[in-house]
Amino acid sequence: MSDHHYTAEVRWERGNKVVFTENRDSRAHSWRFDGGVEVRASSLPQVAEKAFVAALSSGHMMSFLYVAARRGFRADSYFDAATGILSRNSGGKLAMTSVTLHPEVRFSGDRRPSRTDLDEMHHQAHEDCYIANSVLTDVGCEPVYES
């Protein structure tokens, strides 16, 4: 497999309302991705941290949906209330030390996965997730099972 390259633009401008050296200017900025998708980001507490958690959750979801389709299960919806913990790592630096995913997947059709199937698919999705494979963060998965 050849290397794939991805880009993201991060854009911020000071404006002329506040003197930059007073460190009171806005940190509002934007993220722009291929295809013109633009996300407004800000300096509000935890925005970057939440984006990190969302990226891990999204990566797991994409891997999981692929695995489920390959196994012949028809997923109808996927919801994850993922959580992350920001704390000091072993080197004493602030880091997102753990993220726990809580995926709840709904299926339809004649063939529905058992809990064992779901656990296996989540495990495979985690193994395949290139985002989880790219970070030092401990990524856990605690599926929410359909009743």
Mean pLDDT, 10 residues at a time, the chain of 147 residues: 88 74 72 88 78 96 97 97 96 96 97 96 97 97 90
Whether residue 133 sits in one domain with residue 79: yes
Q: Which of 91, 90, 64 is nearest to 78 (CA)?
A: 64
Whether residue 32 sits in one domain with residue 64: no
Residue 3 lies in a domain: no
Write down the pLDDT at residue 23: 67
Number of residues that make up the chain: 147
Residue 137 lies in a domain: yes
Q: Which of 112, 115, 114, 126 is nearest to 64 (CA)?
A: 126
Q: What is the CATH number of the domain that holds 125?
A: 3.30.300.20
Whether residue 130 sits in one domain with residue 73: yes
Write down the pLDDT at residue 24: 63
Residue 146 lies in a domain: no
Whether residue 68 sits in one domain with residue 112: yes
DSSP annotation of 49:
H
Write down the pLDDT at residue 40: 85
Q: What is the pTM of this model?
A: 0.87
Whether residue 74 sits in one domain with residue 18: no
Residue 12 lies in a domain: yes
Residue 32 lies in a domain: yes
State how many domains the chain has.
2
Write down the pLDDT at residue 14: 75
Whether residue 75 sits in one domain with residue 19: no
Instruction: Quote the distance between the C-alpha of residue 88 and its chain's center.
Output: 21
Cα distance between residue 70 and residue 64, in whole Å: 10
Write down the pLDDT at residue 18: 65
Whether residue 76 sits in one domain with residue 20: no
Whether residue 129 sits in one domain with residue 63: yes
Whether residue 83 sits in one domain with residue 101: yes
Whether residue 115 sits in one domain with residue 60: yes
- Residues spanned by the domain of 73: 47-141
- Show the tokens assigned to 17: 């309302």
Whether residue 53 sits in one domain with residue 37: no
Enclosing H/E stretch for 11? strand 8-11
Burial of 38 (0-12, 13-18, 19+ CB in 10 A): exposed
